[in-house]
Amino acid sequence: MEFTVEQIAQVIGGKIQGDASIKISKLAKIQEGDSNSLAFLSNPKYENYIYTTRAGAVIVKNDFIPKSEVKAALIFVEDPYTCFTALLEQYHKTMLWSRQGVEDPCYIGKNSTIGDNHYRAAFSYIGNNCTLGTNVKIFPHATIGDNVSIGNNVIIYAGVKICADTVIGNHVTIQAGAVIGSDGFGFAPQPDGSYKSIPQVGNVILGNHVDIGANTVIDRATMGSTVIEDGVKLDNLVQIAHNVKIGQNTVIASQAGVSGSTEVGKQCMIGGQVGFSGHIKLADRTSIAAQSGIMSSVTTEGAKLFGSPAFDARSYLKSYTVFRKLPQLMRTIEELEEKIISLSSEVK
Amino acid sequence: MEFTVEQIAQVIGGKIQGDASIKISKLAKIQEGDSNSLAFLSNPKYENYIYTTRAGAVIVKNDFIPKSEVKAALIFVEDPYTCFTALLEQYHKTMLWSRQGVEDPCYIGKNSTIGDNHYRAAFSYIGNNCTLGTNVKIFPHATIGDNVSIGNNVIIYAGVKICADTVIGNHVTIQAGAVIGSDGFGFAPQPDGSYKSIPQVGNVILGNHVDIGANTVIDRATMGSTVIEDGVKLDNLVQIAHNVKIGQNTVIASQAGVSGSTEVGKQCMIGGQVGFSGHIKLADRTSIAAQSGIMSSVTTEGAKLFGSPAFDARSYLKSYTVFRKLPQLMRTIEELEEKIISLSSEVK
Amino acid sequence: MEFTVEQIAQVIGGKIQGDASIKISKLAKIQEGDSNSLAFLSNPKYENYIYTTRAGAVIVKNDFIPKSEVKAALIFVEDPYTCFTALLEQYHKTMLWSRQGVEDPCYIGKNSTIGDNHYRAAFSYIGNNCTLGTNVKIFPHATIGDNVSIGNNVIIYAGVKICADTVIGNHVTIQAGAVIGSDGFGFAPQPDGSYKSIPQVGNVILGNHVDIGANTVIDRATMGSTVIEDGVKLDNLVQIAHNVKIGQNTVIASQAGVSGSTEVGKQCMIGGQVGFSGHIKLADRTSIAAQSGIMSSVTTEGAKLFGSPAFDARSYLKSYTVFRKLPQLMRTIEELEEKIISLSSEVK
């Protein structure tokens, strides 16, 4: 899509200085971009860039007075940053949701329905008995298994696998390569040392406004459901085991893993590469520092934890400060021992 | 599939109380489910649920006497839990292995054969010179590269990539998105600071009764084979590097990683997010706690390890208990120093 | 492909002892292989294998004198290892790059072009406005989104997802299941406790001679580019967040994760399962031990780090040595306390 500087100035209510007919097709940082790019200058620290920028147009503050020649067209507004991000959002939404139609070949099984404004890419696969809402966008090589239910305004990127029986709400985005509903890791030990797999016949439920990262995996429940509540955001390469429950608006960073049947509370912040034992509960609003290991339930709301096994984050850092000095501390203790020995001999 | 309560009672040899004609199509927990669900009550702790359950029928113990009205049909047996899991297993197997036929379009290369009772989903891909046994189920977007050999009773879920030359035994299940046989990570440093890739011409061998988790990766050997022995169970997002060997019936939890040429013994239990250095050996029946790092060989069978670098798990926890008190310990030492100084001055 | 022992001896300039007409189709270790395999003997430690090997031919040193009967044909050269790896490399390249043509069905969008000698597997997908160079090999179920630019001599393995706007250089290999250009993990907290996604409109740039591991994920930038410079090698299951920059020839082992906007220097060696905080910088030639956590910028070039949070690796190991003795150290302190008490009483 292409807009003139004039059209953009109208949308954001700005005044133009320079060539109003310049064509803009991209948004860029002021230090990057080319003649078709629109940039912004908000922080005075970056002012130097405006005299050398290759961007075709720059949004600036109403009170901005150039100190030397500026080649780019300028659009003057009250708050350049807010205007720019509003444009960005608008542009992104338009691009994202305008995708429509069915590419050939793609596959849809028996008794499956999909609502209006859908996009089904070539090589996308929908199984039997699926119900998909309106405005669902399915990218290439996405698999949707049998008996899956999906709400409205859902984006399923390339190569996502949504296994049978999964239930997905509205306004959900699933990044490329994620797996929703693989079998839980459940095996019963046998007398001969081997393991027999326990059938995993439950499913996965994703609430509304859930975002799932690339190559993240969420296992189906053994029985019942693995539940990801409304507003949960999972980063890339996260592992959610069977029968786990993640509470509303909890955010989990990349490569963290939650073991089976654990319940994470609402509004928690889980750092990258954090691990959880199975069958424990985490209170609401818990913050966990990256790489920590949570080995038992956390019952106090709002706790901040660090370490493996994790405890209070500030206490962990205090202990760790001493840990760094341990060789020195050991020498101190040895010296004390010697002093006491010599002192004892003096006393006797 | 649908069964009456009467049919189910016959299969598990139980006596019915209530409506024997109720139709059952699902298995559920007693606190979940609907009128088409069959549940069970084994643990007396859950007895309350039987008076409120929405399940159509519940399997109970022969000696169960309701304390108030129960709406569900009851099936009385000696051991409800065993009966229920037997039904669950039967149901799951029937569902899983009944999938048959070839969906269109799917691809099969030259000189490749596949045995009876196979399922090949739309967009599944089989390369050249492959031999696949009977009862092989291939889900959408699975890729099977050239020269791959697969045994009988194997399930390959959506988007699995089995790279060229891989050998797979019988009774193997590979969850969605797993990669078997990617190139090992081998690069030779060059004088100019760059790296030259070392050709990886070996393969991967999976034994019988092996289970591989979703998005797990197993690299092919540089030469020879990366070997996953019979009965090994790998969870999701596990990394197995080139030339690794995992011994019989070893279980590896999610997000653990084994570096190149390391040999893990038989019957080991490896926790989540554990890491292994390359070129080391782990004795049989070793247990490793989650997030531990194994940096050298473990020669004693049956050891339990924790920490990074890992050592005896009980010793690690004892050290960690003191670690938590380190700030306090440091103060104690400082006090001792002061006391000794004052004591010395008194003595002199 | 098949060669006689005579042909191979000619290529590597060796003298034959035994049957020069034996047909070779594989390269193998001396303790593995069959009658069509070529092996080598370089290290005298492995000499025993030459008397029992099933390989059809073995490359040996000019001065090798068998101590008993050898069934395999022998090819005598100055340096068996170098000759063997040269053959290996040649063989591997020939196999890899000989793949050519277009399998049916595959998809290519509007205004997209691809150079000579390409391979496009069945079910491979190329979007609109893409430019792909010569000698590009695209395996099954690979997705290439809109506006992607790819150089020459690039291999894209099965199920790789290259999202819209990605720019890829020459001599790049991407292993199966990797995701390049998924949305960055950026969410703005809202007053009601929910999060609103921040549009991610940047892209990913991969330089020349870059290797990307299986199921690894590289997020696109919020604005601008996530940059992987020339010669970078990423192992499997690695996470690279939005706006990250990885410097030339840096090597990152499996399951490591780099958080948003962090800049990793050139020629760094990053161990497996290492984690990085966001918005920090790592100096050139830094080495980081496996499982370490980098929580602040590292400004000294060539540092070696360990721990979480990481510090000097040798210091970490010294502290860790004392950590292992902490329970004993605590008892020593308690004894010192008692001695001082008794000493004090004696003095008074």
Q: Where are the domains of chain C?
A: 3-97, 101-316, 322-347
N-terminal to C-terminal alpha carbon distance within chain B: 94
For position A348, what pLDDT does the model report? 66
Contact C305, C288 (CB under 8 A): yes
pLDDT of B18 higher than 70: yes
Distance CA B116, CA A286 (A): 53
DSSP annotation of C290: T
Among the partner residues C177, C237, C267, nearest to B161 by beta-carbon distance: C177
Q: Cβ-count burial of A300 within 10 angstroms (0-12 exposed, 13-18 middle, 19+ buried)?
A: exposed
Lowest model confidence (mean pLDDT) among A326-330, A339-343, B24-28: B24-28
Distance CA C72, CA B256 (A): 42
| Mean residue pLDDT across chain A | 95
N-terminal to C-terminal alpha carbon distance within chain C: 94
Among the partner residues A105, A200, A241, nearest to B105 by beta-carbon distance: A105
Catalytic one of B92, B171, B209, B242: B242
Q: How far is C131 from chain B (nearest CA, A)?
A: 25
Over range B149-168, report the average pLDDT.
98
Higher-pLDDT residue of A347 and A113 is A113
Q: Which residues of C touch A340 (CB under 8 A)?
A: 336, 339-340, 343
pLDDT one-digit tens code per residue, A269-291: 999 999 999 999 999 999 999 99
Among the partner residues A237, A253, A336, nearest to C237 by beta-carbon distance: A237
Contact C73, C56 (CB under 8 A): yes
Q: Which residues of A touch B28 (CB under 8 A)?
A: 223-224
The architecture CATH gives domain C3-97: 3-Layer(aba) Sandwich (3.40)
C332 interface with A at CB cutoff 8 Å: yes
The amino acid that residue A198 corresponds to is: I
Contact B330 A333 (CB under 8 A): no
**In sequence order, what DSSP letters do the residues of B238-300 get, joined into one string?**
-EE-TT-EE-TT-EE-TT-EE-TT-EE-TT-EE-TT-EE-SS-EE-TT-EE-TT-EE-S-B-S
pLDDT one-digit tens code per residue, A56-75: 999 999 999 999 999 999 99
Please, which residues have CB within 8 angstroms of residue B121's CB and are 6 or more apart in sequence?
A125, B103, B106, B138, B139, B140, B141, B142, B158
Q: How far is C88 from chain B (nearest CA, A)?
A: 7
For position C186, what pLDDT does the model report? 93
Catalytic one of C92, C141, C209, C242: C242
- Look at chain A and count its residues: 348
Angle between helix C326-347 and B313-324 (nearest 10)? 50
Angle between helix A326-347 and C313-324 (nearest 10)? 50
> Kind of pairing, strands B173-174 and B154-156?
parallel
Q: How far is C64 from chain B (nearest CA, A)?
A: 24
Would you state the structure tokens that stand for residue B22, as one six-digit string? 């109720």
Distance CA B108, CA A343 (A): 87
Residue showing tokens 């290991």: A293
Among the partner residues C215, C224, C237, nearest to A29 by beta-carbon distance: C224
The amino acid that residue B235 corresponds to is: D
Cis peptide before A80 (omega within 30 of 0): no
pLDDT of A1 higher than 80: no
Mean pLDDT for each consecutive 10-residue tract of chain C (348 residues)? 88 94 89 90 92 95 94 95 86 86 97 97 98 98 98 98 98 98 95 93 96 98 94 98 98 98 98 98 98 98 98 98 97 93 84
pLDDT of B91 higher than 90: no
For position B345, what pLDDT does the model report? 87
3-state SS record for C30-50? CCCCCCCEEEECCCHHHHHHH
Q: Which residues of C touch B225 (CB under 8 A)?
A: 32
User: Is B242 a catalytic site residue?
Assistant: yes
For position C348, what pLDDT does the model report? 67
Distance CA A233, CA C183 (A): 12
pLDDT of B75 higher than 90: yes
Distance CA C183, CA C198 (A): 10
Contact C272 B255 (CB under 8 A): no
Catalytic one of A118, A141, A171, A242: A242
Contact C91 B201 (CB under 8 A): yes
B211 interface with A at CB cutoff 8 Å: yes
Contact A140 C163 (CB under 8 A): no
Contact C40, C60 (CB under 8 A): yes
Q: Over the range C277-288, which residues count as b (16 or more CB within 10 Å of their CB) and which as e?
A: beebebbbbbbb
For position A169, what pLDDT does the model report? 98
Distance CA C150, CA C37 (A): 37
DSSP annotation of C330: H
pLDDT of B348 higher than 70: no
Cα Rg of chain B (Å, integer) = 28
Q: How far is A6 from chain C (nearest CA, A)?
A: 23
Return the closest-CA partner of residue A3 out of A90, A81, A69: A90
Q: Which residues of B touch A201 (CB under 8 A)?
A: 27, 88, 91-92
- Look at chain C and count its residues: 348
Residues forming a β-bridge with A132: A114, A150
pLDDT of A85 higher than 90: no
pLDDT one-digit tens code per residue, A288-329: 999 999 999 999 999 999 999 999 999 999 999 999 999 999
Q: How far is A100 from chain C (nearest CA, A)?
A: 14
Task: Return the residue in C26, C237, C343 with the most chain B beta carbons within 10 A, the one to mutate for interface testing.
Answer: C237
Q: Please give the backbone phi and psi of residue B85, each rounded to the nearest 5 degrees, phi first.
A: -70, -30
Kindly state the helix (H) or strand (E) to which residue B332 belongs, with its residue range. Answer: helix B326-347
Please, which residues have CB within 8 angstroms of residue C263's CB and are 6 or more apart in sequence?
C244, C245, C247, C280, C281, C282
Please, which residues have CB within 8 angstroms of residue B114's CB and are 6 or more apart in sequence?
B108, B120, B126, B130, B132, B136
Would you state the structure tokens that stand for residue C309, as one six-digit string? 């949070």
Distance CA C210, CA A319 (A): 41
> Kind of pairing, strands C211-212 and C173-174?
parallel
pLDDT one-digit tens code per residue, A216-238: 999 999 988 999 999 999 999 99
C163 interface with A at CB cutoff 8 Å: yes
Q: For A101-316, give the CATH class.
A: mainly beta
Q: Which residues of B touch C248 (CB under 8 A)?
A: 193
Cβ within 8 Å of B, C 112-131: 121-123
Among the partner residues A217, A275, A329, nearest to B215 by beta-carbon distance: A217
Residue B1: pLDDT band with limits 50, 70, 90: low
Would you state the structure tokens that stand for residue A184, as one six-digit string? 């839980």
Task: Return the residue in C24, C38, C96, C236 with the most chain B beta carbons within 10 A, the one to mutate for interface testing.
Answer: C236
Kindly state the helix (H) or strand (E) to which residue C321 belongs, with its residue range. Answer: helix C313-324
C92 interface with B at CB cutoff 8 Å: yes
Residue B223: pLDDT band with limits 50, 70, 90: confident
A314 interface with B at CB cutoff 8 Å: no
Among the partner residues C194, C200, C347, nearest to A231 by beta-carbon distance: C194
Return the closest-CA partner of residue A168 out of A229, A111, A116, A120: A229
Could you tell me the sign of the dihedral formed by the alpha carbons of A71, C245, C186, C159, in that order? positive
Distance CA B96, CA B103 (A): 17
pLDDT one-digit tens code per residue, A161-184: 999 999 999 999 999 999 999 999
Lowest model confidence (mean pLDDT) among B84-93, B129-138, C5-14, C162-171: B84-93
3-state DSSP call for residue A31?
A: coil
Q: How far is CA A234 from the centre of its chain?
A: 5
Distance CA B211, CA B233 (A): 5
Residue A153: pLDDT band with limits 50, 70, 90: very high
Q: What is the number of other CB atoms lying within 10 angstroms of the CB of residue B217?
A: 31
Distance CA A221, CA A260 (A): 9
Task: Return the residue in A239, A240, A323 with the most chain B beta carbons within 10 A, the one to mutate for interface testing.
Answer: A239
Contact A273, B273 (CB under 8 A): yes
pLDDT of A201 higher than 90: no
Q: CA B124 → CA B160, C90, C142, distances in Å?
A: 10, 32, 13
Q: Which residues of C touch B323 (CB under 8 A)?
A: 323, 326
Contact C171, C188 (CB under 8 A): no
